[in-house]
Amino acid sequence: MPIKTATQLRREQIKQELWPKEIAWTGEKPETGWFRAPRTLPLILALLADKRISGNSDLTGVYLELLARHRDSGIVDMVTTGEHSYAAGYSGPRGVRTWQERMKILEGLGFIKTKETGNQQYKYVLLVHPTVAIQRLYEAKKIPQAWWETYRTRQIEATEHPYEKLMERHAPAKVVPIKAAKPKAKVGAAAGT
């Protein structure tokens, strides 16, 4: 059993004092059915709801639904458009079309990349690292400065890698050319044997 830090013990004590009968959501093992997300997620969702970024389309439900389906490798193996649209909060006759419109906007903003197969428009979705997508939007001058400063500050507080560090970490390894070794002289050949 892992050793708990003083901070963890203090939080457990507070929980026991204030809410002794409640079951808290911890996401710890053996808990299942949860997903990893950056600590900057609330800010990212606020950005995706901002009309200056997405027009009149709130993208938060679609993006959050994709994150919740992510298991590993940044890939979401999609099921049916009806299931995804409903889980993102869109139902009724226009539900699928509304969801598809928002998927297209998310892709245009650089938060996702998609692949179709056969008749399925969205078979695979790649979740682009949000730090990368946000950096590209910032460089294109599409992000409000106040939001950017708040986001960068939260990244520092959460010890989340900034764009530069992330790119360093994922840079391809430098290949060092191997010099051809000079053939060694045979031992006895020089002596005439």
pLDDT (tens place) for every residue of the chain, 193 residues total: 678 888 889 988 998 998 999 887 776 766 677 777 899 999 999 999 999 999 999 999 999 999 999 877 889 999 999 999 999 999 988 999 999 999 999 999 999 999 988 888 999 999 999 999 999 999 999 999 999 999 999 999 999 999 999 898 888 766 667 776 566 666 655 555 5
pLDDT at 111: 97
Helices 130-139 and 145-157 pack at an angle, to 10 degrees, of: 150
pLDDT at 188: 59
59: left (phi over 0), alpha (psi -120 to 50) or beta: alpha
Whether residue 185 is contained in a domain is answered as: no
Whether residue 117 is contained in a domain is answered as: yes
pLDDT at 84: 96
How far is the C-alpha of 38 from the C-alpha of 167, rounded, in Å? 17
Q: How many domains does the chain have?
A: 1
Q: Which H or E element spans position 7?
A: helix 6-18
pLDDT at 190: 52
Q: Which domain holds residue 118?
A: 36-167
Q: Does residue 147 contact residue 44 with C-beta atoms inside 8 Å?
A: no
Whether residue 80 is contained in a domain is answered as: yes
pLDDT at 26: 72
pLDDT at 189: 53
CATH number at residue 41: 1.10.10
Whether residue 18 is contained in a domain is answered as: no
pLDDT at 73: 82
pLDDT at 149: 97
